[in-house]
Amino acid sequence: MSETAETRVATLGLELPPAPQPIANYVPATRVGNLLYVSGHGPVRPDGTMRVGRVGQEFDLEQGRLEARQVGLAMLATLRVQLGSLDKVKRVVKVLGLVRSTDDFFDQPKVINGFSDLMVDVFGDAGRAARSALGTNTLPGGIAVEIEAIFEVRDDS
C-alpha cells in the first residue's frame, strides 16, 4: 500500500492550525468541476495568531520561508475541511505567492519554497506546481506571506 497524504502528515508530525475563516466577503475555497480554487491564506498558527513583519526587515530569508511553510499548513487545514481528507487532492496545479518584502529583497521565490517544499512533502510529486512568486509592499494585517492555490481533486470528493 502506498503512503497517502494523510499518513504523510502524521508521519511528518505536522500540526495543522484551525482552518482560517474569511475576513471579508469571500469563501475559503470554490470548486469548479475537479478544480478547487483556494483563496489567499496567511501564516495562521495553531493558536490562531499570525506574526507580522516584512521579509528583509523583521524577517530574514529563512524566517520568511518558515512563514510560507506555515501558510501551507493553514491551507492544508482548509483542504481537509473542504474535502474531508487530504487524500482527495490529486495534485497541486498552480500557486501564487505574495511576499511582503523590502525594496532591496529579491529572493521571493526562495521564500515561497517554504510552501512548495511542504506540498511536495505531503503530496509527493503531485505537490509540484506551476508557480509565481511576487514581492509586494503590503499584505492584510501586516503579514509577510499570502498564498493562493488551485488543486485538482478526485472525482469522488
| pLDDT tens sequence across 37-66 | 999 999 999 998 999 999 999 999 999 999
Domain layout of the chain by residue ranges: 26-153
- Check: CB of residue 34 under 8 Å from CB of residue 89: no
Burial 28-62 (b: 16+ CB within 10 A, else e): bbeeeeeebebbbbbbbeeeeebbeebbbeebebe
The answer to whether residue 144 scores a pLDDT higher than 70 is: yes
From CA 151, how far away is CA 129, in angstroms rounded?
A: 9
From CA 70, how far away is CA 64, in angstroms rounded?
A: 10
Strand-strand pairing, 145-153 and 89-100: antiparallel
Structure pTM?
0.96
User: Tell me: the pLDDT tens digits for 80-124?
Assistant: 999 999 999 999 999 999 999 999 999 999 999 999 999 999 999
User: Residue 2: what pLDDT?
Assistant: 74
The answer to whether residue 7 scores a pLDDT higher than 90 is: yes
> 157: pLDDT confidence band, cut at 50, 70 and 90?
very low
The answer to whether residue 1 scores a pLDDT higher than 70 is: no
The answer to whether residue 20 scores a pLDDT higher than 80 is: yes
Task: Record the cell numbers describing residue 28, joined without a space.
Answer: 475559503
Strand-strand pairing, 130-136 and 89-100: parallel
Average pLDDT of the chain? 96
Percent of the chain residues past pLDDT 90, beyond the cut:
93
Fold that domain 26-153 belongs to in CATH = 60s Ribosomal Protein L30; Chain: A; (3.30.1330)
